[in-house]
A and B are shown apart, each in its own frame.
Chain A
Amino acid sequence: QVQLQQWGAGLLKPSETLSLSCSVHGESFSGYYWTWIRQPPGKGLEWIGEINESGSTSYNPSLESRVTISLDTSKNQFSLKLTSVTAADAALYYCARGPSQRIFTQLGFYYNGVDVWGQGTTVTVSS
């Protein structure tokens, strides 16, 4: 059973760099996109970006100038860096598996959604 365990600094000052990591247990990186999602207090979900097993990334245009997602296959983990944080970046940050790439079955194929989530890391930004 796949499990994601995430960690990183939870209290930052404005202009600092947010750095979170997510360890993947029980699965390799192939066949999925590996995603970061955040949720400001009391608000909805915001997709930050993703990386696949080849290291190809895609980012939310609203964050693209500040965000980097990377992969370390030797440690089976992926990471998020967000530079120049402000109070607007305060949120609960999740690492997650998904969506999948094409999955073939006897009946055809499908694309799975985000099906495994980390426990979340609360990030506070305060001077």
Chain B
Amino acid sequence: EIVLTQSPGTLSLSPGERATLSCRASQSISSSYIAWYQQKPGQAPRLLIYGASSRATGIPDRFSGSGSGTDFILTIRGLEPEDFAVYYCQQYGYSPRTFGQGTRLEIK
């Protein structure tokens, strides 16, 4: 099973700042199979990024993904108030399709 480790656990930033969230895999994964999700309280997760760097439909371009091998990054430029949420990475190239434990992005 591929373990995904997200860091930091909690990130405290102010609106307008840049957020950098990390997802490290226990073994190399093709970037084709990395996704990022945003989850707000009381809501289902929402797909932000697939294939490590492609934005899902309707996702603003302040969200971007990058990385390869074992290290993947989600960057949010110019944080908006609605961006403060929990973010999860997922690998879907191998079964079981594992998630990271999440990074909570909170308002400083």
How far does the alpha carbon of A59 sit from the alpha carbon of B32 in the complex, in Å? 21
Which of the four size classes fits the interface of chain B?
Answer: 20 to 34
Q: Does the CB pair B99–A113 fall under 8 Å?
A: no
Q: Does the CB pair B50–A110 fall under 8 Å?
A: yes
- The B interface is mostly helix, strand or loop, or mixed, namely loop
- Tally chain A residues at the interface, Cβ within 8 Å: 24
Question: Chain A, 98-127, contact with B by CB distance < 8 Å: what is the 0/1 string?
Answer: 110000000000111111011110000000
Residues of B within 8 A of A120 (CB): 44
Closest to A64 in B: B96
Question: Chain A, 34-70, contact with B by CB distance < 8 Å: what is the 0/1 string?
Answer: 0100000000111101100000001111000000000
How far does the alpha carbon of A119 sit from the alpha carbon of B45 in the complex, in Å? 10
Residues of B within 8 A of A45 (CB): 37, 45, 88, 90, 99, 102
How far does the alpha carbon of A18 sit from the alpha carbon of B95 in the complex, in Å? 23
How many Å from the CB of A41 to the closest CB on chain B?
12
Instruction: List the 7 closest pairs (A to B, CB-CB), nearest first.
Output: A113-B35, A117-B44, A113-B50, A99-B92, A45-B99, A58-B95, A60-B96
